[in-house]
Chains A and B, each alone.
Chain A
Amino acid sequence: MYDAGKVIAGLLIALVLFTLPVLYHVVSGESVAIEKLELGVPEGVTECVRSADFMRREHMHLLVDWRDAVVREGKRIDEESGFRMSLTATCLGCHQKSQEFCFRCHEFSGVKTPYCWECHVDPTGSQ
C-alpha cells in the first residue's frame, strides 16, 4: 500500500469526526438517555386486544385489517380478544384521548401524524 501512514491517519480522523457527537457525550459525561414517554392507561385496565409488544410493532397493520374486516366484510368482532373492532369505541375506550396517546407517541417517535382522526371523531373531543 502506498502512503499507508497518510491513508490510515486520514481514516482515523474521519472516524473521529463522524463519531464526534457520541464521543462528546462520552467525554463530557452528559446524559444522553431519552426520558421515557409516559402514555398511561386508566387504572384497572390490564388487557389490550393483543400484547403490548405486538401492538407497538403492528398496531398500524392491525388497524388496517380491522378496517377492511368491518367496512368490506361486515365483520364486527375480533376473534382472538373478543373485543368489538372499533377505533373510537374500543381503542379510545382505554387509550382516552387521541391527542394524548396517538399523537404524542407519533411525535415522540418522529413518525407521520396518524390521519385516522381527519374523519373518525374522537369521542373525547381532543382532536
Chain B
Amino acid sequence: MSMDRRKFFHLATCGTLGLAGASLPIVRAGVRGSWLPSGEALAAKRWAMVVDLKKVLEKEDSAKLIKACHSAHNVPSIDDPQEEVKWIWEEHFEEVFPEQSHEFLPESLHEKPVLVFCNHCDNPPCVRVCPTQATWKREDDGVVMMDWHRCIGCRYCIAACPYGSRSFNWRDPRPSIAEQNPSFPTRTRGVVEKCNFCEERLRRGELPACVEACEHGGLVFGDLEDPDSEVRKLLRVRHSLRRRPGLGTKPSVFYLVDDVCEDTVKEILGEDLQEANGR
C-alpha cells in the first residue's frame, strides 16, 4: 500500500480528532457535582464578640468557658508552655491592653485575668502572610478561617499575629486530648491552629461554645454590621476597648470596661459622689 504525504496527514488529523471525541465522556466524568449551603446556618455580615469584662471577672466561670471550647474542638492540653495549644485563655489586663494600661490602674483592673482568643480582625495580618491561603478571611461573614488541609506549618501567621492567638502543633496532639469529639477533627503535628469563632456551630444554627457556656451573658455574639444587633447596642451605650488599636487590624472582639471600677468608685467616694451629682 502506498500513501502520499497529503493522505497521511488527512488520516492522522481525522484519527486525532476521533480519539479526542471518544475521550470526551472521560473528561466530562470529571464534573463531580454541585453543592448547596445548609439551610439552618446562622448568618451575619460580620460576626463579632463583646466581652463584658466585669461580668466575666465576677460571675462567669472562665475555666468552664475554656473547657467548653477546648473539648468541642479537640484542643490538646499540653502543660509545657513552649508547646501548649490554646484557642481561648486568660492574660493579665496589662498584657492584653498594653497601650491602654499604666502603673496607676485601679485595683479592679490591675493584673486581672482577661479572656482572650482570636480577634477575627477586619484587616488580618495572618492572612496577608500565609503562602498557601490556608488561612483566609471569609468575605460573607468576616470569620478568619483556617484550612488545616492546606497548612504547611511555616508559622508565618504566628509571627504576624500581634495577639499571639495562634498555636503550633510541635507534637502529635492526639495523645494529649482527653476525650476526642468525633464530630470535629483533631490536628496533626506541624499544623497551626486557632479559634474559628465556632464556624462549625454557626453552620448548624448554634452560638459559639464559649458563649453558650456563659450563664450570665458575659460574652455576647452578634452581627457588627447590623445596627440593631445586641453587640451594636452594647457598643453604642457602653465604653469598649479593642486590643492594640494602633496596629490597624480592626479586631471583631470588643471588651466592655466602663463599669469595672463602679464598686471602687462607690467605696471611695461613697455619698460624696451622690452629693456631688446632686448639686
Write the residues of chain A forming the contact surface with B, with a CB cutoff of 8 angstroms: 54, 58, 61-62, 65-67, 69, 71-80, 84-85, 88-89, 118-123
Contacts and interface: CB of A to CB of B under 8 A. Distances in A.
Contacts of A58: 29, 32
Q: Is the interface of B mostly helix, strand, loop or mixed?
A: loop
B138 A74 contact: yes
Interface in B1-52: 29-30, 32-38, 41
A75 B35 contact: yes
Given A74-B138, A123-B182, A118 B188 contact: yes
Contacts of A118: 188
Which 10 residue pairs of A and B lie closest in terms of their CB atoms, listed nearest first?
Answer: A76-B38, A75-B35, A123-B182, A77-B36, A69-B35, A119-B185, A121-B182, A79-B34, A120-B185, A121-B180
Nearest to A74: B37
Contacts of A120: 185
Nearest to B202: A74
5 contacts: A74-B140, A74-B203, A89-B183, A121-B184, A123-B183
B252 interface: no
B147 A71 contact: yes
B190 to A, nearest CB: 11
Contacts of B181: 121
B182 A122 contact: yes
A19 B188 CA distance: 46
Given A67-B149, A74-B140, A79 B33 contact: yes
- Which residue among A75, A78, A121, A122 has the maximum number of chain B CB atoms within 10 Å of its CB? A121
A32 to B, nearest CB: 30
A118 B188 CA distance: 7
Given A119-B187, A119-B188, A122-B182, A76 B147 contact: no
A23 to B, nearest CB: 35
Contact of A75 (B30, B36, B140, B180): B36
- Which residue among B33, B38, B147, B185 has the maximum number of chain A CB atoms within 10 Å of its CB? B33
B185 A121 contact: yes
Contacts of B37: 74-77
B56 to A, nearest CB: 30
Contacts of A76: 35-38, 41, 203
A79 B182 CA distance: 25
Contacts of A85: 35
Nearest to A69: B35
Contacts of A89: 183
Given A62-B33, A77-B35, A119-B186, 8 more contacts: A61-B30, A72-B145, A76-B35, A77-B37, A84-B38, A119-B187, A121-B184, A122-B182
B74 interface: yes
B149 A71 contact: yes
- Which residue among B35, B36, B41, B181 has the maximum number of chain A CB atoms within 10 Å of its CB? B35
